[in-house]
Amino acid sequence: MKLFRKMKANHKPGKNKRKHNRVNGLPYIGRTGKEQDQKTVKYRDCSRCRFRCSNKISKEDAYKIFSTYYQMGSYEKQRAFLCQHVDQDKKRNTHLKEITFYSDTCGRQNRNQYVASTMLYALKQHKSIEVINHKFFERGHSEMEADSIHSAVERAKKNTQIYHPSQWDTVVSMARKKNPYIVIPMNFRDFSDLKSLRKKMCNNMKKTVNNKTINWLLVKWIKVDKASPDAISFNYCFEEEKFQTVNVQQSGLRGRKRAMQSITLAPAYDTKLPISEAKKADLISLCSSGVIPATYHSYYENLPWGKSIKDKLPEPDIDEDDEYET
């Protein structure tokens, strides 16, 4: 069985060496024939610069950063190193007052009460943003840039063997040669419980201020405004004057208004999600038979499992066609 793609003959013998030297900071000859010198630490006096780097980073620290960066051996590792150690300046984008998101009409992913309540929470946490919009594409016109990402990843995976979830990070980042995708690995600690957030923030997501029932499957536009901190506006079309409003903190027999400032995001999971006993047995058998290389056996052997856990297919997303069902 043919497992790997046949490597094409390299007609440019100096290409790999040039790439190796450039990534490792060594001298090399560029594509235009220009000689590039070896990279060295050039420590400068930044007293006249507004960033004052020389006052924040010592010569010893600068040399350590330089050595670590050029000893990584690959552009992807260097890029990940920079992304990991660079923080966004919180003073930037203070002029930004309004944000608009666009997405398809998938109910379980985008068009639902939990996303709407999360928008309201984000608005309260951000100091400068005053309005957040979420607009949904018309049915049949929902092609987005993310669709090209999916196809690129599928092509990159086609002739690649995946034995460990972390290998997907490399596949995705290498799916696009020019300007590679930035991959941010996540684990169970990075997910928040949006259902509990919705219960804390909103005791009314069904009736408008005019006592009309909200049909979330028909909503085309969700809007939250800092001028109305306890309200979510929605629209069944894209005409500005046809917004309707729901008072999410409406007091009634079942609850009282809660202080929004005291509400925080809770983690969705405290531990790794266990798999079923049958799935664990199948994975161990793949390790025993040698299908999964020995390097990855410890990962699968340590996966949590439970006898009460049942295997099931993911629940299907609400299709765009469902929005017209009664």
Based on the fold, state whether residues 276 and 198 are members of the same structural domain. Answer: no
Within-domain flag for 28: no
Token duo for residue 224 = 């939250």
Within-domain flag for 200: yes
Based on the fold, state whether residues 182 and 255 are members of the same structural domain. Answer: yes
pLDDT reading at 1 higher than 50: no
pLDDT reading at 92 higher than 70: no
Based on the fold, state whether residues 278 and 264 are members of the same structural domain. Answer: no
Range of the domain at 301: 272-306
Based on the fold, state whether residues 302 and 182 are members of the same structural domain. Answer: no
Query: What band does 250 get if pLDDT is binned at 50, 70 and 90?
Result: confident
The Cα–Cα gap between 72 and 74 comes to 6
The reported pLDDT for the residue numbered 220 is 93
Residue 305 CB-density burial (10 A; 0-12 exposed, 13-18 middle, 19+ buried): middle
pLDDT reading at 320 higher than 50: no
Based on the fold, state whether residues 282 and 296 are members of the same structural domain. Answer: yes
**Could you give the count of Cα atoms lying within 13 Å of 244 in the half-sphere of its Cβ?**
19
The Cα–Cα gap between 38 and 306 comes to 56
The reported pLDDT for the residue numbered 261 is 64
Token duo for residue 264 = 């925080």
Within-domain flag for 131: yes
Based on the fold, state whether residues 276 and 176 are members of the same structural domain. Answer: no
Residue type at position 272:
K
Express as a percent the part of the chain with pLDDT over 90: 31
Based on the fold, state whether residues 143 and 292 are members of the same structural domain. Answer: no
The highest-confidence range among 73-77, 127-131, 296-300, 312-316, by mean pLDDT, is 296-300
Within-domain flag for 71: no
Torsion angle in degrees (nearest 10) through CA of 37, 40, 44, 50: 90
Based on the fold, state whether residues 130 and 237 are members of the same structural domain. Answer: yes
pLDDT reading at 86 higher than 70: yes
Based on the fold, state whether residues 222 and 291 are members of the same structural domain. Answer: no
Tell which of 244, 271, 298 closes a domain.
Answer: 271
The reported pLDDT for the residue numbered 234 is 93
Q: In whole numbers, what is the pLDDT of the chain averaged over residues?
A: 82
User: In Å, how far are 41, 59, 101, 239 from 248, measured between CA atoms?
Assistant: 57, 55, 21, 23
Based on the fold, state whether residues 265 and 300 are members of the same structural domain. Answer: no
More confident residue, 146 or 58: 58
pLDDT reading at 277 higher than 60: yes
Give the residue-averaged pLDDT of 130-157.
85
